[in-house]
A and B are shown apart, each in its own frame.
Chain A
């Protein structure tokens, strides 16, 4: 094989590796969002963050460290939003994969009692604290902030 051919093949392999790594990342993200293991956070329909169940677990651990609480609690909706950098909002729309579809919550409705319950299959349900059975949104896929400015 000629040297030039080898160079071309080598470069093609490197390019292929780079392209496939980006593709792989995108596929993982898309599948995660479809299966509701990754939650997309948008501000007026522009994506501002992706939050996975693992990150939520870590956030809870961090929070518990600070609060010196023995029992780990579920992450609140506010905690997840703050971590994504959202602090101002008038209204949020929470979309899910379940039959409940989406729900719209106003600023005054949102407090620390709204929890994101982490399930064994890696998805998250939105419920009120101490009322796990009454799911508001099942398998949350997207949190859309409205009028975040």
Chain B
């Protein structure tokens, strides 16, 4: 009878421990057994390919999609309206960049509740430094945990740099400049002014034909490329600013990521498999211990 009782007690204990961790996990209060207890903490910023952005890493694409990871649910409907406004981006010369701040709702996919996705609405410029700012007012689902608790009242700034554009000589590819893709043309080595090279860092990807920035001088005749003229640069900048302002007026900061509702099955299977392995292991250990004890008795 005693044996049955002790077995029952151990089984109940194991199941309740497992259930407890599952319940904590499900409530969105945080990763089980993580050291971040109450306050909301920023964990990491990564690109779609998994590259971590920590100390001003170079980004090779002009419309990178960043994933900001926190240790608590930050996408719940009750806090989302506040949280999406907490994330902004600006360039090194303090010009704000329009960004799409998106989430995968926790009612559809619970596994992404700690992630906020940030992507510039328009392509960025080559060779520039950008800053993603996360306001200290970012809230967790419980509405009590605020980011400022873990950042001494300050927000978080993530710095990254877009790669320098390599401008190639266009003799062999005269047709490329007429396309809308970010064409790279080899730039002649700076001879007179060293600043010329940096002037070429302009918005090429957004350039439709009207906002074309790099113009090649008689592509069939000469390999030299005419670098962006100041006026053209100003016009392009004005146009892009106008577009940005118009979009801001329409409150188009946020864009929702569409997702298939069945996308989470693999994670659930993984969770179940891990739980089973843990239970099996505990049972195995228990029976080995019991056998040893019985052997000792005899």
Contact = CB atoms under 8 A, between A and B. Distances in A.
A36 B252 CA distance: 29
A58 B142 CA distance: 13
Given A14-B276, A18-B275, A22-B268, A49 B255 contact: no
A87 B11 contact: no
A7 interface: yes
B43 interface: no
A2 B272 CA distance: 26
Given A43-B256, A86-B256, A49 B279 contact: no
A60 B255 CA distance: 22
Nearest to B26: A21
B27 to A, nearest CB: 14
Interface in A28-83: 43-44, 46-51, 55, 58-59, 62, 79, 82-83
* Chain B: interface size category: 20 to 34
Contacts of A27: none
The CB with the most chain A CB atoms within 10 A, among B84, B102, B256, is that of B256
A11 B283 CA distance: 10
Given A14-B15, A14-B279, A82 B258 contact: no
Contacts of A11: 276, 279-280
Nearest to A22: B268
A47 B259 CA distance: 7
Interface string B234-255: 0000000000000000011111
B275 A43 contact: no
B105 A10 contact: no
B260 A46 contact: yes
Contact of A49 (B78, B84, B108): B108
Given A43-B258, A49-B108, A85-B256, A59 B78 contact: yes
A117 B214 CA distance: 55
Interface in A83-113: 83-88
Given A10-B11, A55-B77, A87 B255 contact: yes
A15 interface: yes
Contacts of B78: 55, 58-59, 62, 83
Contacts of B15: 14
Interface residues of A, number: 31
Contacts of B281: none
Given A44-B258, A59-B78, A85 B275 contact: no
Contacts of B272: 15, 18
A51 B77 contact: yes
B287 A87 contact: no
Contacts of A84: 77, 80, 105, 256
B107 interface: yes
Nearest to A63: B81
A48 B252 contact: no
A47 B276 contact: no
A7 B283 contact: yes
Interface of B: 11, 15, 75, 77-78, 80-81, 84, 102-105, 107-108, 251-261, 268, 272, 275-276, 279-280, 283, 287
24 contacts: A7-B283, A18-B272, A18-B275, A43-B256, A47-B259, A47-B261, A48-B104, A48-B105, A48-B108, A48-B257, A48-B258, A50-B105, A51-B77, A51-B107, A58-B78, A59-B78, A62-B78, A83-B77, A83-B78, A84-B80, A85-B103, A87-B254, A87-B256, A148-B258
Top 7 closest pairs, chain A to chain B, by CB: A87-B254, A49-B105, A83-B77, A85-B256, A50-B107, A46-B258, A47-B261
